[in-house]
Structure 1
Amino acid sequence: MERKPLDSLISKNGLWVSRNGRLHGIKSCEASHKNLRITMDCGEVVKVRNSRSSRAARSLRNRKFQKPCKRCRVPEEKIKEFSRKISKNEVKVSVRTVPSSQFNSYENKIPDMALPSENTLHEPVKPVQASTPAVSAKQTQKQTKTAAAKTFVPQPRTKKPKVKKSGNHSFQKPAKASKPQFTQSQKNRILSLLGPGEMISFSKEKRSFAELESVLSTERKKDIRQMYEDSRENLLGKLERTITEFFVDMGFLEVKSPILIPFEYMERMGVGEDKKLSEQIFRVGDNMCLRPMLAPGLYNHLRKFDNVLPDPVRIFEIGPCYRKESDGSSHLEEFTMLNFCQMGSRCTREELEFIIDEFLNFLDIDYEIVADSCMVYGETMDVMHKNLELSSAVVGPIPMDMDWGVDKPWIGAGFGLERLLKVKHDFKNIKRAARSESYYNGICTTL
């Protein structure tokens, strides 16, 4: 007999056998990556792993139970049908993954989802019949040659008059001095030497590449010496210290999670090897990877601090992440993330927007919030500065929380520190704000 997973058996029978042998009717069944949450007709709720060899799977497969649950009121015909060796019933329960847009708390009921209608009727295409008999290719070519021979009339050739060129060049205008032409590599070099806020028009520039490079290099040397005299603080490190002070004062606990994590964590986040997003992950060996996000570490800390710290639990982390997405002026393969999270009471959209507003006003950055969605979290709130996304924020719970042992409401948001620096200092390219050997505080160091 084929050993079907637990969700398939539930979908087939529409019944559940508890540990004490009671046979229950199933009201709804919700699935995440590895777990199931089953609500009985009597109101009892259980959470189990979607296993092929569990006690529940064996009971449903072998159709063994002691007696039906009185409160579920399972119909007698359904009990007799379940007791038979081969069931002929159709699917009784639809097991589905619940999107976060319809999932506000684990105790809420999940509304029924209507199946889309399928239009399977198509008009057959009738072949078009030719009204005249087909003519062979040889016969057509023969008729064409005969017609051409009758209509062709040779024409006499005419000579074109020769135009004599004047040998006197005394009236030609002298050539103007040409403007300096810049190759693409020269343009890139000049752009890298520009300071924050500086601009240049290559079409109007009169200086040669060598002159322009020399002037800009001299200016950048002065800027670096001035930074050394003024502060000697790296902008990225300074921003990280400033953000840490802000969130500690807000009552958040700072945590530090490993950068090298098991790839199984990404599977729990819904980014398995069969997903397109998995191509962005830097793999290390067969089972490990560099973290592309801070969420796995925050999930583990929330679970461990629950019932230890006072309600609500508030934590944050700032650290490096890695993704294979370096194209464009707003993406990096190595970048720094801030993630803050609150679990327990007051986990509402209003509270999340209040924290974001306090944080960005503290940094003096204008923003707006727009609705969006993503593969991992479902519905999100994107924090935008003009056309640049600064953050993606979420109001939980969401279905994947089960796989992390988290069963309380939560709110959270993630910000890219390099993008915050790009906005604050008007950097044209995010690489000026990143960990780099080519730039220091947005100033080119290749001089």
Structure 2
Amino acid sequence: MNLTSSQKQRLRELGWDGSIPDFDNKKERDQFFNKTATKLKNRNKERFLKLLENKVPSWRRVERKLRNIFYELGFVEVQTPSIISPSLLEKMDIGEESKLYNQIYQIKGEKKSLRPMLAPNLYRELRYFSRISDEEVIRLFELGSCFRKENGGERHLNEFKMLNAVEMGNIKDTKKRLDELISNVFSPFANYKVEKEKSTVYEETVDVNIKNTEVASCVIGPHFLDSNWHIDEPWVGLGIGVERLTRVIEGEPSVKPFGKSYVYQDGIRLDIE
């Protein structure tokens, strides 16, 4: 005998990530559920009291740490619109035939959409900065919300925060520089592994994994998309999922409790009573 679907759902909501045994009878099953649910409720209550004491949630601490790392590395922070035009997506080769296209939130009655990524905006900013700056290397980053119609699960949100950083200019060895940046950014958080993966937009990315979870995807340019933006210099870029990184650092099974929510705050389930 197994837990009922509602019992399983409730334990997942409260943060259960352990294995669930088979039960000989209903009484044994319900005793396990009640004992486990009580334990998880108490854990949520303890974390809630800790949040009240500390005031600063874990996702904010991760954001601050990321920002400070990039400031120290010489990156300038920018902010760009969350509502973008189709032309920016077209320059990223995201048309109706793209797998990503159906995940985009279109704004009804307007030829606009909510940005599914930060990259097109940073391409534009790179172009503007390169016209004005006398520096041999331009370094920019943005930390902001993106929006996609995701199917849910432990690793996806419909509204999520990304930090995208890009360095462009006189970079003699882009692979070496990307390795340096990855080390500088992620070593302060945890041990990590790097592996190459296929990408819908970039064809191939260098992904950063912590505890078997992808927390960042990185790209090296020149890239075939660059000509759409009149970019012709070497560059390296990193895209970091803030909620994913927070979830891994906090050791939680799902990213959902760290997203924008009414019922979750800082990974804590609030409807525990």
The question of a shared fold, defined as TM-score above 0.5 by the shorter chain, is answered with yes
- In the TM superposition, what is the alpha-carbon distance from 1:282 to its structure 2 partner? 0.6
| Matched residue, 1:187 | 8
Larger Rg belongs to: 1
| Counterpart for residue 384 of structure 1 | 209
Structure 1 match to 2:26: none
The DSSP-based 3-state class of the residue aligned with 1:207 is helix
List structure 1 segments (4+ residues) > 4 angstroms apart after TM superposition.
208-212
Distance 1:400 1:297 in 2: 14
Amino acid at match of 2:73: M
Contact 2:247 2:253 in 1 (8 A): yes
Q: 1:92-241 maps to which residues of 2 (within 5 A)?
A: 182-194=3-15, 199=18, 201-203=20-22, 207=31, 209-210=33-34, 212-214=36-38, 216-229=40-53, 231-241=54-64
Q: Which residue of 426, 440, 445 maps to 2:251?
A: 426
Alpha-carbon distance in 1 for matches of 2:59, 2:159? 13
> In the alignment, does 2:87 pair up with 1:264?
yes
Q: CA deviation at 1:212?
A: 4.9
Residue of structure 2 equivalent to 1:361: 187
1:203, distance to aligned residue in structure 2 (A): 3.4
Q: 1:308 to 1:226 in 2, by over 3 A?
A: same
Which residue of the other structure, out of 125, 129, 139, is the alignment partner of 1:301?
Answer: 125
Q: Which residue of 1 aligns with 2:113?
A: 289
Cα distance in 2 between the residues matched to 1:369 and 1:425: 21
Q: How far is the alpha carbon of 1:219 from its aligned partner?
A: 4.2
Q: Tell me, what secondary structure is at the counterpart of 1:240?
A: helix
1:439 aligns with 2:258: no
1:92 maps to none
Q: Distance in 1 between matches of 2:157 and 2:263?
A: 14
Could you tell me which amino acid in structure 2 is paired with residue 192 of structure 1?
Answer: E
Gaps spanning 5+ residues in structure 1: where? 1-178
**Counterpart residue identity of residue 52, structure 2:** Y
Taking the aligned partners of 2:170 and 2:121, their CA distance within structure 1 comes to 21
Q: Which has the higher contact order (CA 8 A, sep 6+)?
A: 2
**2 CA distance for matches of 1:190 and 1:399?**
47
Q: Which runs of 5+ in 2 are unaligned?
A: 24-28
Shift in alpha-carbon separation, 1:380–1:200, aligned structure 2, 3 A: closer
Alignment RMSD, CA only?
A: 2.2
What corresponds to 1:13 in structure 2? none
Say if 1:249 and 1:425 are closer, same or farther in 2 by CA, change over 3 A.
same
Which of 283, 300, 323 aligns to 2:148? It is 323
Structure 1 vs Structure 2: percent identity of aligned residues? 34
- Contact conserved, 1:317 with 1:340, CA < 8 A, in 2? yes
* Counterpart amino acid of residue 182 in structure 1: L
Q: Contact between 2:161 and 2:243, CA under 8 Å: does it hold in 1? A: yes
Query: Structure 1 residues 298 and 183 mapped into 2: Cα distance closer, same or farther (>3 Å)?
Result: same
On the 8 A contact 1:236/1:434 being kept in 2, the answer is: no
Q: Distance in 1 between matches of 2:259 and 2:199?
A: 25
Contact 1:427-1:433 at 8 Å conserved across structures: no
Residues 51 and 57 in structure 2, CA contact (< 8 A), matched pair in contact too:
no
Counterpart Cα distance in 2 of 1:208 and 1:390: 34
Q: Deviations over 1:148-181 (max 9, x none)?
A: xxxxxxxxxxxxxxxxxxxxxxxxxxxxxxx9x6
* Offset, 1:362: 1.5
> Following TM superposition, by how much is the alpha carbon of 1:345 offset from its aligned partner in structure 2, in angstroms?
0.8
1:236 maps to amino acid: W
Distance (whole Å) between structure 2 residues aligned to residue 381 and residue 327 of structure 1: 24
| Equivalent of residue 97 in structure 2, options 269, 274, 286 | 274
Count the aligned residue pairs: 264
Q: C-alpha separation between the residues in 1 aligned to 2:47 and 2:210?
A: 28
Q: 1:3-82 counterparts in 2 under 5 A?
A: none
Give the structure with the larger helix fraction. 2
Residues 175-233 of structure 1 deviation map (CA, whole Å, 9 limit, x = unaligned) = xxxx9x631111211232247xx74635366726456545543442233123212x111
CA distance 1:394–1:186, shift in 2 (3 Å): same
